Amino acid sequence: MEQESLANDEAALNELLRMRRQKLASLKAKGVDPYGHRFEQTALAKEIREEFDAFAGKTVRVAGRLLAKRTHGKATFADLQDRSGQIQLYVRYDRVGEESYDLFKLLDIGDIVGVEGTVFRTRQGEITVEAATVELLCKSLRPLPEKWHGLRDVELRYRQRYLDLIMNSQVRETFYRRTGIIRALRAFLDARGFLEVETPVMAPVAAGAAARPFVTHHHALDLDLYLRIALELPLKRLLVGGLERVYELGRVFRNEGISTRHNPEFTMLEAYQAYADYEDMMRLTEEMLVSVAEEVVGCRQIRYRGQEIDLSPPWPRLGVLEALRRFAGLPWEQLPEREEAWQKARELGITLEQGASTGKIIDALLQALVEPHLQQPTFLVDYPVEVSPLAKRKTDAPDLVYRFELFIAGRELVNAFSELNDPLDQRERFLAQARARAGGDEEAQMFDHDFLEALEYGMPPAGGMGLGVDRLVMLLTDAPSIRDVILFPTLRPLG
RNA sequence: AGGCCCUUAGCUCAGUCGGUAGAGCAGCUGACUCUUAAUCAGCGGGUCCGGGGUUCGAGUCCCCGAGGGCCUACCA
C-alpha cells in the first residue's frame, strides 16, 4: 500500500522534479554526500559587503542557499543567501579544478552549499567570494519560486512560509523586527523590576476576558480544560503571593472570527504592578512603547499605512463620555439610563443584542463612532462597570471604573485598569457575568471561585495592563494584516 | 456567519465574441573564463481548483462545492 502510493508519486512527478532526482542520483554515483555535514561559517554575506576593506583578499567560509546561477562556460557566477543577506560567488574552472567545476555545474538554484574562497571585487564593482572549494550541504528537490517577483500568492506565502522567507527579504525583516520588539518589551519591564513568569495555558476556567474559549480534554483526569483567553487571573494570584511586579508574554486563544486584525491564537503581554493605579499604567505604557519604537525603529515618529503617527508622550486622556460628546454629539455628562442609550444607538443605526446592558451599548457606540477617529495615540478612560468586571470602581462615580484602552491607528492596542481588589465586589461582578452567561452571552466571564478565594486573602491595590503584541508588531512593521506578523497564521487545511 | 472578488505550467501572469492552451522566469541541450533580470541558438513542460449542466464545441456561460483575499459582524 505504502509502496504503491510511493510508486504512483514517482510516476506523477513532473519534469522539474524528475530532473532534480536524477541529479541527486548522479551526485551519489560520484560519491558525493548530497546532504552534507557540519560547515563552519567564518563570515556572513552582510559583513563581507559592509566591511569589504577588512575582508579583501582574505579567505572566508560562507554557507547558504543558491538563489541564482550565471554560467559562462568555464566560469560561473552565483548568488548565495545566508541569514544576513546575499553575496556573489565566482567559481572558475582553473581555480577549483575539473572535478569540482563539473560538480558545481550539477548544482541547482535552491541547493545549500558551503564555500571556502577569497574575497575580491569584480570589475563591475560587485563584492564577491571566489571559490577555492565548494561543498554541497543539501540537495534541493523542488524548484524555488521565480526570481523577479518572488512568491506573491498570499495563500502560498502563509502555507509555505519557508518559501516566503527565502524569497521575500522584507518578510525576513518583519520577523527579525518582531523578535526585536519582544526583546525590547522584556528589557523594559525587566529593568523596572518586573518578574517574568509562566502560568498555565490550560485551565479549568477560562476567565480574565470576554471571549469564547477553545475546549480540550484531559484523559487521565477525565476533565475538560480551556485554553486560556487571557493571562490576568493567574498573574493577580501572584500579586496576592507578594511578587508585586509580574508580567507574562504568551499565547492566548480565542474561539472567534479570523480577520486582518484577528488570529485565533495571538500573543499578549500582561503586566501587573502592586501599589500602582491605572494612571501609573498609562505612564508605563507611554514609556514602554516609546522605548520599543526607539529601539526597533530608531525614533518616535512612525509611518503606518501612509499615515504619520507621533508616539511622543504624553498622549491625550479622553473620557469615554467626553469622547461620545466630541465625536458623536451625544450629550451625556454621566452614564445615561439604559433606555436613553438604547434609543440613541437605534437612531444611529447601531446593531445591538436584545439584552445589551447600558455598558455594552456605550461600548458599541464607542466602537462605531469614536474609535475610528483615534489615529494618533489616545487613551480612552473611565469605562462603564458592566463591561469591566475586573476593574476598580471610580470613587466619585461607582458606575464607572478606573480603566483605559489605548488606541493607535483606530485600533485597540492596550487595555488596562486599576485592579479590583475588593473580594465582595468581585463576587458581585462575577455573579452579574454569570447571569449574562445564563442569558445566552457566550462571552460573559466565567465565575472563578478559586481566584475569589485568593482575593479574600488580600491583594494589594495594583495597576495592570494587557498589550496585543501582534498589533504592536503590525504598527511598527507597517503590516496591513495580522497574518503578516505571525509566522504560521491559522488556515483551513487543504483537502 | 453575510456580501463582493480571485483560483490557467514549479513561480509571476496573459488568454478577445464560446472555436486546436500562451509569455517571461525556472528547467533541459549546445556556445561562452568578470557576469549580476548575463547573453545567443534550440527543446520540453498543462487535472485551466473539483463536480455537474447548457452547447456541435467550455479556460471562457450557468449551478453546486473547495481553498484563498477584502469588507461587515464579534473580539485584542
Domain residue ranges of chain A, discontinuous segments joined by +:
2-144, 167-316+376-484
- CA of A471: nucleotide with nearest C1': B76
pLDDT value at position A161?
Answer: 96
Q: In which residue are the cell numbers 483551513 written?
A: A492
For the domain made up of A167-316+376-484, the CATH class stated in words is alpha beta
Q: Report ipTM (2 d.p.).
A: 0.93
Between residue 400 and residue 459 of chain A, the positions with Cβ below 7 Å from nucleic chain B are 411-413, 415, 443
pLDDT value at position A495?
Answer: 65
* Superfamily of structural domain A2-144: Nucleic acid-binding proteins (2.40.50.140)
- CA of A266: nucleotide with nearest C1': B76
Give, in Å, how far the C1' of B43 lies from the CA of A69: 20
Q: Does at least one atom of strand B sit less than 7 Å from the CB of A471?
A: yes
Q: Does at least one atom of strand B sit less than 7 Å from the CB of A143?
A: yes
Task: State which nucleotides on strand B lie below 7 Å from a protein beta carbon.
Answer: 1, 9-13, 24-28, 31-39, 44-46, 66-76
pLDDT value at position A5?
Answer: 37
Q: Does at least one atom of strand B sit less than 7 Å from the CB of A8?
A: no
Residue nearest to nucleotide B38 (CA to C1'): A70
Q: Of A33, A176, A58, nearest to A113 (Cα)?
A: A33
Between residue 103 and residue 122 of chain A, the positions with Cβ below 7 Å from nucleic chain B are 108-109, 120, 122
Give, in Å, how far the C1' of B65 lies from the CA of A274: 56
- CA of A412: nucleotide with nearest C1': B76
pLDDT value at position A444?
Answer: 85
pLDDT value at position A89?
Answer: 98
Q: Does at least one atom of strand B sit less than 7 Å from the CB of A305?
A: no
pLDDT value at position A14?
Answer: 83
Between residue 221 and residue 260 of chain A, the positions with Cβ below 7 Å from nucleic chain B are 254, 256-257, 259-260
The pTM (predicted TM-score) of the whole model is 0.94
Q: Does at least one atom of strand B sit less than 7 Å from the CB of A1?
A: no
Write the pLDDT tens digit of every residue in A260-293.
Answer: 999 999 999 999 999 999 999 999 999 999 999 9
pLDDT value at position A4?
Answer: 35
Q: What does the alpha-carbon distance between residue A107 and residue A483 come to, in Å, rounded to a whole number? A: 34
pLDDT value at position A145?
Answer: 95
Q: Does at least one atom of strand B sit less than 7 Å from the CB of A123?
A: yes
Residues of chain A with pLDDT under 70: 1-13, 495
Phi, psi of A137, rounded to the nearest 5 degrees: -105, -25
Q: Does at least one atom of strand B sit less than 7 Å from the CB of A494?
A: yes
Cis peptide before A314 (omega within 30 of 0): yes
Q: Does at least one atom of strand B sit less than 7 Å from the CB of A300?
A: no
Residue nearest to nucleotide B10 (CA to C1'): A143
